[in-house]
Amino acid sequence: MQRVRVQEANPTIEEAHYKGYRIRVVSGYNIQQDNYLVHLYISPPSGPEIRVFEPPRSESDLEDALDLGFFEARSEIDQLTA
């Protein structure tokens, strides 16, 4: 799965495709909590975009936050396609 960074600034947005689903991970620095929030969206091959977890999760590092988002997305898609 190839990840593409589509926005570099705060928030950082990366997208990828997995099993026909589009994954969009959005992460931005939260100064009050001193961490990076992770918002995760998946779009099925035909259908609206789905927000995967609420409230957003967090990590102490931007790359860890993005990795968490893609890990969770693959897990969610694997469950949907099992």
The one-letter amino acid code at 70 reads F
pTM of the predicted model as reported, rounded to 2 decimal places: 0.90
Nearest to 26 by CA among 43, 8, 44: 8
Instruction: Give CA separation, 15 vs 1, 62, 68, 70, 82, in Å.
Output: 10, 15, 13, 9, 22
Mind listing the pLDDT tens digit of every residue in the chain (82 residues)? 899 999 998 899 999 999 999 999 999 999 999 999 999 999 999 989 999 877 778 889 999 999 999 999 999 999 999 9
Q: Where are the domains of the chain?
A: 4-80
